[in-house]
């Protein structure tokens, strides 16, 4: 059971990374001349696979009951590293998204926020790792709170 769970977690992780790569591959890059592409938005089709699979990955990650791993992520040191990584990743995502928006500003305002040039703003490695790091942080905090409550209940018993 444990090996099968770890294999499924690894497979879902790898498929997520492949889908993110494919979204990037099918997102059309704005040409320097600013001509609009008429090829449609092929990358958005992959959103319908990536988003549910990402949620499945996070749920598999949350319900993984490895005590050594849970004790590691709930240590104060690891929670601090999670916060730092989260801040850095959010900043990288902001710079990445801002770069795309400034490159296409004023050229495709009629197409809306989600179009063939902006797929990678929403589905990319930064957003993937923001979700993973946030999940690790929340799991660590909840595990630390539960551990503390268990210790307090043992003292009062």
Residues 115, 52, 79, 146, Cα dihedral to 10°? 150
Continuous H helices in 105-124: 119-122
CA gyration radius, the chain: 20
Q: What is the pLDDT of residues 93-121, one digit of tens each?
A: 999 998 888 887 776 666 677 777 788 88
Structure tokens that stand for 127 in this block: 């957003």
Is residue 19 within 8 A of residue 52, CB to CB? The reply is no
- The domain tally of the chain equals 1
Task: Give the separation between CA 26 and CA 47, rounded to whole angstroms.
Answer: 11
pTM of the full predicted structure? 0.81
C-beta separation of 117 from 27 below 8 A: yes
Q: What gap in Å lies between CA 91 and CA 152, rounded to an integer? A: 38
For the stretch 43-99, pLDDT in tens is 888 989 999 999 999 988 888 777 677 777 777 788 888 899 999 999 999 999 988
DSSP character at residue 31:
P
Asked if pLDDT for residue 140 goes beyond 80, the answer is: yes
Query: Which two three-digit tokens encode residue 128?
Result: 């993937």
pLDDT at 54: 94
Q: What are phi and psi of 133, to 5 degrees?
A: -65, -40
Residue 9 — pLDDT band, cuts 50, 70, 90?
A: confident
Q: What is the residue range of 22's domain?
A: 2-156
How far apart are alpha carbons 53 and 47 in whole angstroms? 10
Coil vs helix vs strand at 123:
coil
DSSP-derived letter for residue 64 is: -
């Amino acid at each position: 059971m444990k090996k099968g769970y770890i294999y499924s977690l690894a497979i879902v992780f790898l498929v997520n990374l492949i889908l993110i790569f494919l979204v990037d591959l099918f997102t059309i890059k704005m040409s320097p001349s600013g001509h609009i592409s008429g090829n449609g938005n092929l990358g958005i089709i992959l959103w319908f696979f990536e988003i549910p699979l990402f949620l499945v990955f996070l749920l598999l990650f949350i319900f993984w009951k490895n005590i050594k791993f849970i004790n590691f992520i709930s240590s104060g040191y690891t929670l601090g590293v999670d916060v730092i990584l989260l801040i850095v990743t959010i900043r990288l995502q902001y710079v990445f998204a801002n770069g795309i928006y400034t490159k296409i500003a004023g050229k495709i305002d009629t197409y809306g926020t989600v179009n063939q040039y902006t797929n990678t703003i929403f589905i990319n490695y930064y957003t993937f790792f923001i979700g993973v790091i946030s999940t690790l942080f929340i799991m660590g905090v909840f595990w630390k709170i539960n551990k503390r409550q268990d210790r307090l209940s043992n003292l009062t018993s």
